[in-house]
Chain A
Amino acid sequence: MTARVGVIVFPGSNCELDARVAFSALGAEVEMIWHAGTSLPEVDLVVLPGGFAHGDYLRTGALARFSPVMDRVRDHALRGGLVLGICNGFQILCEAGMLPGALRKNNGLKFLCRWVDLRVDNNDTAFTSRAEQGQVLRIPINHFEGNWYAEPAVVDRLRENNQIVLRYVDNPNGSVDDVAGICNESRNVFGLMPHPERACEQLLGSDDGIVLLGSLLDHVTDRAGVAG
């Protein structure tokens, strides 16, 4: 079966086409979904792409959280559907309360656009199943507000539940506990600041992003297989 991926497009999104190209190349059927819609087509995975949704006014993700389609994204997640937030998408998921914490301005106040090494600290999730535990992936970052924060008690809980899925090998932005990517308790909502969709071609410097995006698609097709 072919996995169906829905990429949400907010006014100000700018990585939606990268996401479409990456998931299409991996064999998924990709549909672009405008943020103002009040329904969601039948999809297996919803992707909130990078960019500057609603201009990032007030705070990153603060207004995007109230886009009409977000209620449907929440329903999709509550039904167990997969959701992936990349960069601005991660910020939106945090603002929406679908993932814990918040993203602050980078320590050093620099916009960071470069390759980083990410360590997979939990490979037992739908987002990391193709990785070895501890595998290091080379993926680019491109953000000003990537400095993840949560209260110490929340961080402890995430550690205990192995919800801190990806950590920076060399923390570029001040993120608490080197957090680069996390998941929710049910392990179907994932958010990360780095851009795996921009690391899907050796020609562009790395294809390690396929490990992550491909894992999500495996999860969809494996589940369909089990269901018969």
Chain B
Amino acid sequence: MSYLAQVDVMLKPGISDPQGQTIERALPVLGYPGVREVRVGKRIQLQVDADSVDDARTKVEEMCERLLANPVIESYEVSIG
């Protein structure tokens, strides 16, 4: 089977996010006050061959640990299917 996996990678809470801060400063200028805690991350989409949903999740989580995210500064969330 082939499964569609989506990985969302975000900077860990507490780690400053200069991109988020810049966006947060820009939004009120455009007429959107009251916006807080803007964080910028990235989404990685993969089509993965695996035996089951669980197998696909295990594989993708391993990819996250080894390459897709840097555990020092980033957290990740995997969704399958």
Please list the residues of chain A having a beta carbon within 8 angstroms of any beta carbon in chain B: 58-59, 62-63, 66, 94-95, 101-102, 104-109, 147, 149-151, 174
Contacts and interface: CB of A to CB of B under 8 A. Distances in A.
A174 B72 contact: no
Interface of B: 11, 15-16, 18-19, 22, 67-68, 70, 72-73
In the A-B complex, the 10 residue pairs with the smallest Cβ-Cβ separation, listed nearest first, are A102-B72, A102-B73, A109-B18, A102-B70, A107-B18, A105-B18, A149-B73, A59-B70, A109-B22, A104-B73
Nearest to A59: B70
Given A105-B18, A106-B18, 16 more contacts: A58-B68, A63-B67, A95-B70, A102-B70, A104-B15, A104-B18, A105-B19, A107-B16, A107-B18, A108-B18, A109-B18, A149-B15, A149-B72, A149-B73, A150-B72, A174-B16
A106 B22 CA distance: 12
Contacts, number: 35
B41 to A, nearest CB: 12
A224 to B, nearest CB: 36
Contacts of B70: 59, 62, 95, 102
Nearest to A61: B70
Contacts of A109: 18-19, 22
A106 B73 CA distance: 14
24 contacts: A58-B67, A59-B70, A62-B67, A62-B70, A66-B67, A94-B72, A101-B72, A102-B72, A104-B11, A104-B15, A104-B16, A104-B73, A105-B19, A106-B18, A107-B16, A108-B18, A109-B18, A109-B19, A109-B22, A147-B18, A149-B72, A149-B73, A174-B16, A174-B18
Contacts of A104: 11, 15-16, 18, 73
A58 B11 CA distance: 14
Nearest to A97: B72
Contacts of A95: 70
**Highest count of chain A CB atoms <10 Å: which of B11, B67, B68:** B67
Nearest to B66: A66
Contacts of A59: 70
A149 B15 CA distance: 8
A174 B16 CA distance: 10
A151 B15 CA distance: 10
A151 to B, nearest CB: 8
A32 B73 CA distance: 32
A149 to B, nearest CB: 6
